[in-house]
Structure 1
């Protein structure tokens, strides 16, 4: 069974501040650019300099730039890989949202004007169906919350169970199978910071 390698984009000003960043196209910080280069070096170690059969990226600049800086040749930009649409909560932090909606989390509460966990999960399911039929390893370059949903769906859990997985900026996760059962091979791999 081929593997699916997930790469989260590098650090941005909003990932540093904790602001929900879905549709807004925030550039990488200088540190984020360095982390993307480091992620590429880690990729070559993980994958022994072999090329994946396909590299898909979110069309957001932060993902595109991360892929380029990591030395990956993107085959196509895929709207299904964009980050969760936070709707009215775009640009807000969780503490700011909780001022009006106590105990709010993206995993358990709606995002007015945005997506639900189930809608993000449906996008992830579409991607999974496609990459499972690949004849070799695939790389997906995207975003934190979406990648966490994809991991949950990969192992058959509801989308909201992505809350149980961490994915730092410019980190890798590896999906595969263990004797025919979908598994998370490695999660949140990054160069020590």
Structure 2
């Protein structure tokens, strides 16, 4: 990133560390699971490497931290950020826990793996000609792609309102999102103005961090993915 681009606000995507269901590949939406010991170490390692004064995520340069209300996301925030930083962010009104960042509501598919979901849908007379794809088909008794799009677009509008007046470095206003695998990938699609079904090849490892920014220092210009980081083991 050039010096000119260095003042452009960024959005950091921080995925929570692994849980028992992450290991098993089970879809985890509203179920409250804690991080495993390995998951905690993933987050602590990443936090030590990139969170702190003068580091990639500098708490003094954050305008807002948005955190999913799920336990595993809140644990991730607490492990990645120091106690003083958490206290300052909260005291300054820059820490927001929001359902807009909750994981996709999987409804009837909660706790299942992909093959079980596809078998269940066939039992229900669905997907006769094509296999289930969450980005296109959503979840029975859970959220549709349109519902996820609506809540993420609302969050993106809020972020644009924070960062829009500061596109040329007038005031430091980076934003951090602490959340989950599917919802963060969905966020990237909407940030880039793609529909949910757009086949965007992207993975964010548990405990990993991604970075989003803007083109040409203009909130109205197409947004770009700057890079994806991986958890520090």
Q: TM-score, normalised by structure 2?
A: 0.77
Map Cα deviations across residues 101-148 of structure 1 (whole Å, 9 max, x no partner): 362221222311000112111111011101112241011101110111
Tell me, in whole angstroms, the C-alpha distance in 2 between the residues paired with 1:81 and 1:6: 11
Shift of 1:40: 1.0
Indicate which of 171, 184, 192 corresponds to 2:225.
184
Contact kept in structure 1, 2:107 and 2:140, CA below 8 Å? yes
Question: Alpha-carbon deviations, 1:15-35, whole Å to 9, x = none?
Answer: 111101001011100000001
Alignment partner for residue 147 of structure 1, among 168, 172, 184? 184
Q: 1:119 aligns with which of 132, 147, 166?
A: 147
Whether the 8 Å contact between 1:81 and 1:142 is mirrored in structure 2 is: yes
Give the structure 1 partner of residue 157 of structure 2. 129
User: Residue 121 of structure 2 aligns to a residue in which SS?
Assistant: coil
| 1:47 equivalent among 57, 64, 67 | 57
Flag the structure with larger Rg.
2
Structure 1 unmatched runs, 5+: none
Query: What is the Cα deviation at residue 164 of structure 1?
Result: 2.4
Give the 5 Å matches for 1:54-73: 54-71=64-81, 73=86
Counterpart of 2:224 in 1: which secondary structure? strand
SS of 2:198's equivalent in the other structure is: helix
CA distance in 2, matches of 1:162, 1:81: 21
Match of 1:84 among 87, 104, 114: 104
1:138 to 161, 171, 175: 175
Q: Equivalents in 2 of 1:162, 1:153: separation in Å?
A: 12
Distance 1:152 1:169 in 2: 19
Native 8 Å contact 2:17 2:39 kept in 1: yes
Q: Partners of 2:159 and 2:20 in 1: how far apart?
A: 31
Gaps of at least 5 residues in structure 2 are 1-7, 123-130, 164-172
Aligned CA RMSD, in angstroms, stands at: 1.8
Aligned pair count?
Answer: 192
Contact 1:87 1:111 in 2 (8 A): yes
What is the distance in 1 between the residues matched to 2:230 and 2:69? 23
Q: Which residue of structure 1 lines up, in the alignment, with residue 126 of structure 2?
A: none
Contact conserved, 1:152 with 1:162, CA < 8 A, in 2? no
8 Å contact 2:21–2:27 — kept in the other structure? Answer: yes
Looking at structure 2, the residues matched to 170 and 145 of structure 1 have their Cα atoms a distance apart, in angstroms, of 14
C-alpha contact (below 8 Å) 1:42/1:191 kept by paired residues: no
